[in-house]
Structure 1
Amino acid sequence: MDLSNGSTLKLRSGLRYRSAYDTNPLSSEAAALGYQPWVRTDEQYLGDLSATWSSSNDNLSLTAYVRNIGDNEHRTNATLNLIAQPMGPAIVSADTRLTEPLTFGFVLTARR
């Protein structure tokens, strides 16, 4: 969008869809003990917005952005570690990686 002083403003939005999927498999021993063989990650929608102002000579620009507007954190990977117990197996640790939470910021660019 052209502004009256010759500078420009660009608005952008994006929506990402990630379908449901199974993350790391458990060991065959864990599956044999009755644990589900996979860790399920549900479907997700992630939205982003940004606005960039550029000077009339393009020597200066400022971008403001917001990523993951809904602060929709979800598993991207999961690992479960099991040990045998007399009463049955027990989960002793679980490692999970999450997507980035709501993130926002500014980027200033100067050119000669």
Structure 2
Amino acid sequence: MVGERVLLKVSPMKGVMRFGKKGKLSPRYIGLFEIVERIGEVAYELSLPLGLSGVHRVFHILMLKKYHQGCAHVIQWDSVLLYQNLNFEEELVPILDRQI
């Protein structure tokens, strides 16, 4: 599996907003990341970009999903502003008009 590209699971936690959406609408996976090395039986080291330097590079196999060519569902991690703890600041948007 070394050299393959994978998606990284970012499970939503209750009350935490990650990657722009909250709850059921938040993305389940981000990526693409290349597997650099197999660590033990169930752990893999990923090649993470500098923008994710605060994240540990070794992940359990259950956190990874094999990438299949041509997937349009990949959310690019660099399109979002990340804090060190991978959280977002939620901003309120005013409602300007409504119809009944």
Indicate whether the TM-score tops 0.5. no
- TM-score normalized by structure 2? 0.27
Q: Identify which of structures 1 and 2 has the higher relative contact order when contacts are C-alpha pairs closer than 8 Å and 6+ apart.
A: 2
Q: Which has the larger radius of gyration?
A: 1
